[in-house]
Each structure stands twice: as structure tokens, then as C-alpha cells.
Amino acid sequence: MADFWNDLLYQQYEASLCTLNHCIIESPEAAWQGKVVNMTFDQVVFHTLFFTDYYLCKEPEDLKQQAYHRQYADFFADYEEMEPRHQVQRYTKESLDDYLQFCRTKANEVLAAESAADLAAPCLFPPKTFSRAELHVYNVRHIQHHAAQLIMRLRMDYEIHTPWFGSGWKA
């Protein structure tokens, strides 16, 4: 039964990340630097990917220990995302596309390794009090929340249409 849930969750991660990828690809330079609520477009993309990466970890301490984070230490700088302050770092499309591909691969690998017991176990991200399975759903919802903000900016300011990305879609 775990395979069913793992596949279902992966398909939802994939559809959400395809949506976010579309926003990166289609964003004109003017949008990339433009405001989206209290951040810029590129910062929203980074924020979304950062927390995707974070919640795919087994526990919070695993984030900074990953080879990707050690290899790209300048990209993560002082981990401003973990602090209650406004972001200041800026990001290129290329760097965020690379990070998105990392998150996509990580989602596939993490979900392939999750057992039914893993999914039923409590998540280890305080103050959240739900299961690991629900943490995955929460994570996908977070991706979609920010993708919707980006889609709205692209649609309203640049008349760029975003298709619906469903299960099995690859972009």
C-alpha cells in the first residue's frame, strides 16, 4: 500500500514543481525583479524551493548536511530563510532552475524510500504535530500556494497563461 501513496505523493510533487518551473521559464526579466507580496519574484521561487527541500528532509538538522548545500554554500549564504527577517539575497533563473531539478530528484528519491511506517510516523518539524505523510501534503500545498502567487503576477502583468499540470506531466 505504501507504493500507492508514494506514487500519489510523487505525482503531486511533480505537478507542483512543473507549475513552478513554468513560472521560472516564462518569467520576463521585468517580472523576475518585480514584487510579489513582500518579496521579489526570484525570492518567492527560492523560498518555495528552500522549504520544499527542507520538508523533504527526515529532520531539520539534515538540511545543511546535504552535499548539494555544501557544494553551493554561497547560494544558501547565511540561510536567511530560517530567520524572521526580509530576504535580501537575489537569484538567477539558472541557479533556481538547478535547485528545482535538485528538489525534483530529491522528492523522487525520498518518496521511493518512504515505508508505510515512515509515512504514518510523526514528522520531526516542530511545531507541526502531524504525520510524515501529511507533511508531504503540506509541502505540496506550500509549493502550489506560491506558484499561484507567481501565476497571478504573470497573468495580470504580462498576460502569460499557465496551463494545468497534472499527474504524469514532465516539464
**Residue ranges of domains in the chain, CATH in brackets:** 2-158 (1.20.120.450)
pLDDT digits (tens, 9 = 90+) for 60-92: 999 999 999 999 999 999 999 999 988 999 999
* CA dist., res. 53 & res. 101, Å (int): 11
Cα–Cα distance between 43 and 69 in angstroms, integer?
18
More confident residue, 167 or 46: 46
Count of H-run helices and E-run strands, the chain: 8, 2
> In the structure, what pLDDT confidence band is assigned to residue 168 with cuts at 50, 70 and 90?
low
Which pLDDT value is given to residue 166? Answer: 81
| Mean model confidence pLDDT for the chain | 94
Can you read off the three cell numbers belonging to residue 95? Answer: 541557479
User: Residue 126, preceding bond cis, omega within 30 degrees?
Assistant: no
pLDDT (tens digit, 9 = 90+) per residue, 3-53?
Answer: 898 899 999 999 999 999 999 999 999 999 999 999 999 999 999 999 999
Give one word for 146, left, alpha or beta, with left for phi > 0 and alpha for psi -120 to 50: alpha
Task: Tell me the angle at which helices 93-113 and 2-26 cross, rounded to the nearest 10 degrees.
Answer: 180
- Predicted pLDDT of residue 167: 63
Is pLDDT of 171 > 60?
no
